[in-house]
Structure 1
């Protein structure tokens, strides 16, 4: 979008400065020379071209004399632009209300992001803009291809995209300045076995240690409470200073999902699979599949897992025995068997632990 164009969805407003720019190009002169011919300052022409100033009756009169285009035409162009901008602003306001209605505002009060009081719709919108550091809530309704998400299957509806972006923006804004450490993939690879061993530990012990270990590698592990209709378990984002955000939510945070989500995101980081705004769906899908494969192989090496599958016996005893052999929590084996449809989703769930991790 050019400086003299305002757009929102299918609404586009062209500032008359775009036509002035075309006139200058057709005359093959500089903005300074055009300003001299018009009898105004170069600064004023620059502001007109960049849609920072409106065409007044006086300016329209001068433009008519220089260009041969009537005063009424110049004023009509300005009026058309002004009306279209109002339409855009009204549409944005309506959309902001619709988006705000998709977001459970109690979440922000319950988790201390805003004061625990009653808010009008207008106040909610203002608080959300401030909290998320965005000019308009309409920013939230676009799927962010520049971020890798764990669990994108639930992003078919706008409310899922909106609420997932809310969680991501909160985590991003609260973690971007936590460290100046740049991502160190060599360090990260070295500590992967230690992280894997943590599956056998209580979260009260491993979580603080895990955060410190990752921080040394330039990775900010940031946990967020689940938000209704937010369809992500984890996400990664690279900051400008070289550090990386690794967001984990407590959505469906049984032990098997937590560890798979964590290693999935670490797979993105190690493979440098950070996303581009211009990436197509197939490339996005391929990166997700690679991260899934990385997590599966770290947690349960493929050759060992296939040997276990070949036995064809999925009892409490065989799962426990295999977990001891792999030095990993049995819930991870149960989760893998359920995901691969070797056992039903309701079988052996007593192996799983619901983590009550102190997030943030």
Structure 2
């Protein structure tokens, strides 16, 4: 999980002039005497003390000679003051964007540890903008909302775009922490062949690190992250650059047969389809690209020569286990495929399936 940056942002504002005034009092100088020592007018000194005139490099050098503190101290003091003033003004402006928060799955984003919770609406908006890596709600619209709207327009996808954008953004953040070799199509194909045998491993603490490491060597960042409310997505693929792809899974259906099919389905998108395309997997999507990815996953997990035998396979635990061993995949994958094809009722032989859940569920 990506830990949000912890920034100290005081809500009090103390101009550098307060420090100047304290030093004048300590030295017993009037503003007029101080002005004379600095070569300034008393009016300019008054503006400095009230924070209405900025401390420039030249002023900082004079303050260093007259008051004794370093020029760097005065410049840093001035910069901190101006930054605080700017932040306060920005937070006031961001209050006007508070309605945007209603679009986001804010409760889950906080519970999942993606962002921090703030009482101030302005601070909460600022926190969410930082999460998305944009400077404004308009920037979020262009970077996330508009591409998702285009995807929705070209498919039957009608889910909450803001919730989906939050999930995808968390995937981007986690993927940035995965060091990947430049994408290599041949290496990725070979990686999938290697990972097919891993379907027999039932412990996610074992197979997930292997998935991540194997795919990273081929230029693909694999990320597992739960989906927030309003984002009923099972998986997604997105190119982060020309040589790094994101393959993201939410474990929505929580069994090993679904997990592995979703993984190889998303891998199919990466291998078969364009680098400028975004793919989101949910029920009801059935366009040409989805059908191609489905065939890719189906044929890789259970090659056609074996798939032809499923119709005639004895519907017993012993027969399924023996056939799965021959094919080289987990028995749950055989059961899941037979159920999908209508060769086996959805209620039968489900003991082969391994269920998973997120720790925070």
- Contact 1:211 1:221 survives alignment (8 Å): yes
Whether the 8 Å CA contact 1:180–1:241 is kept in 2: the answer is no
Is 1:126 aligned to 2:130, yes or no?
A: no
Match of 1:287 in 2: 289
Distance 2:122 2:345 in 1: 47
2:336 corresponds to: 335
Q: Distance in 1 between matches of 2:292 and 2:251?
A: 23
- Partner of residue 193, structure 2: 193
Find out whether 1:144 has 2:145 as its counterpart: no
Deviation for aligned residue 1:121: 4.7
The farther-off stretch of 249-258 and 213-222 is 249-258
Structure showing greater Rg:
2
Pair 318,213 (structure 1): closer, same or farther in 2 beyond 3 Å: same
Instruction: Name the structure 2 match of 1:223.
Output: 224
Query: 1:253-277 deviations in whole A, cap 9, x for unaligned?
Result: 3101110111111111222443448
Contact 1:181/1:216, CA 8 A, preserved across alignment: yes
Classify 1:345/1:127 alpha carbon distance in 2 versus 1 (closer, same or farther; 3 Å).
Answer: farther
CA contact (8 A) 2:238 2:277 kept: no
Match of 2:325 in 1: 324
CA RMSD, 1 decimal: 3.3
Task: Give deviations 1:336-355, integer Å, cap 9, x for gaps.
Answer: 12222333333332221123
Q: Which residue of 2 aligns with 1:237?
A: 238
Q: Structure 1: give runs of 5+ residues left out of the alignment.
A: 1-89, 278-283
Q: Which residue matches 1:274?
A: 275
Which consecutive residues of structure 2, in runs of 5 or more, have no partner in the other structure? 1-92, 279-285
Compute the TM-score of the two structures, normalised by the length of structure 2. 0.61
Q: Which residue of 2 aligns with 1:204?
A: 205
Structure having greater relative contact order (Cα 8 Å, sep ≥ 6): 1
Q: Conserved in 1, the CA contact under 8 Å of 2:180 and 2:220?
A: no
Going from structure 1 to structure 2, the CA distance change for 1:147 and 1:174 (only over 3 Å counts) comes to farther
Q: 1:209 to 1:357 in 2, by over 3 A?
A: farther
Q: 1:342 to 1:145 in 2, by over 3 A?
A: farther
Equivalents in 1 of 2:359, 2:206: separation in Å?
A: 11
Q: What is the TM-score of this pair, normalised by structure 1?
A: 0.62
Alignment of 1:154-193 (within 5 A): 155-157=157-159, 159=160, 161-176=161-176, 178-179=178-179, 181-193=181-193
